[in-house]
């Protein structure tokens, strides 16, 4: 073989090897760039998710208690008893509130710690600043003298010292009289004095002795 041809083949072979190395380097660099882009995109998504999680932190309850049976006091005075399966407090929300979304049973006490009303509801919310209870679902109340109140939504304002509803309500009094209020009712906290809006019902009239001068009237 001619020495010139031999050197020429060696040079060509070296160039081919160099081109292969360059191609490999180019391929490797391209792969690295693609990997970096994927990782950067993934990190960006994580940052977005993290930012969203932080911004949603106020929507999480600051306290979550299961299986509650406790007394609630205000200024050293026991006001009511709460029994519930699930109690969440959202103190970071605006406005802050308590949530009882798996049902609640309340006993309301008077100043002498007598139970002047018992309350049941499927769902309840208590707004701390307003001192306002919102009761929803199957709401049932019974006062001290045995009158029963049933409605789908009811509010109890501790500040205004009244209980009220704009939903249809059924009241069964202790003498078995039944009163229906189409547009709700309004009452004092003890549920002893109340006004029923657009009422109708069945009333029980007690028998009176024949010689009595008293009469019963229904208005």
Q: pLDDT tens-digit profile of 28-64?
A: 445 444 544 444 454 555 555 555 554 566 778 999 9
Structure confidence at residue 205 (pLDDT): 55
Task: Output the CA torsion 193→194→199→200 (10° steps).
Answer: -30
Residue pair 81/106 in contact (Cβ under 8 Å)? The answer is yes
Residue pair 128/148 in contact (Cβ under 8 Å)? The answer is no
Alpha-carbon distance of 115 to 112, in angstroms, equals 9
Weakest-pLDDT range from 9-13, 85-89, 193-197: 9-13
The whole-number average pLDDT for the span 12-22 is 48
122-142 burial code (b ≥16 CB/10 A, e <16): bbbbbeeeeebbbbbbebbbb
- Between 111 and 172, whose confidence is greater? 172
Mean of the per-residue pLDDT values of the chain: 77
Q: pLDDT tens-digit profile of 93-106?
A: 999 999 999 999 99
From 149, 131, 157, select the one nearest 72 (Cα to Cα): 131
């Amino acid at each position: 073989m001619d020495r010139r041809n031999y050197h020429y083949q060696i040079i060509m072979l070296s160039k081919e090897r160099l081109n292969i190395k360059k191609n490999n380097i180019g391929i490797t660099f391209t792969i690295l760039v693609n990997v970096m882009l994927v990782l950067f995109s993934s990190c960006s998504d994580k940052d977005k998710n993290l930012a969203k999680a932080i911004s949603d932190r106020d929507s999480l309850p600051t306290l979550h208690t299961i299986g509650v049976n406790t007394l609630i006091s205000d200024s050293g005075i026991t006001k009511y008893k709460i029994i519930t399966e699930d109690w969440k407090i959202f103190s970071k929300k605006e406005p802050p509130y308590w949530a009882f979304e798996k049902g609640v049973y309340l006993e309301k006490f008077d100043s002498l710690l007598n139970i002047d009303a018992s309350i049941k509801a499927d769902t309840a919310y208590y707004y701390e600043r307003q001192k306002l209870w919102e009761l929803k679902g199957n709401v049932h109340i019974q006062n001290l003298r045995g009158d029963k109140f049933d409605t789908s939504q009811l509010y109890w304002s501790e500040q205004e010292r009244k209980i009220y509803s704009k939903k249809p309500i059924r009241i069964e009094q202790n003498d078995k009289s039944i009163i229906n209020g189409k547009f709700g009712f309004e009452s004092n906290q003890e549920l002893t004095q109340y006004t029923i809006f657009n009422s109708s019902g069945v009333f029980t009239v007690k028998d009176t002795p024949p010689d009595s001068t008293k009469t019963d009237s229904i208005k």
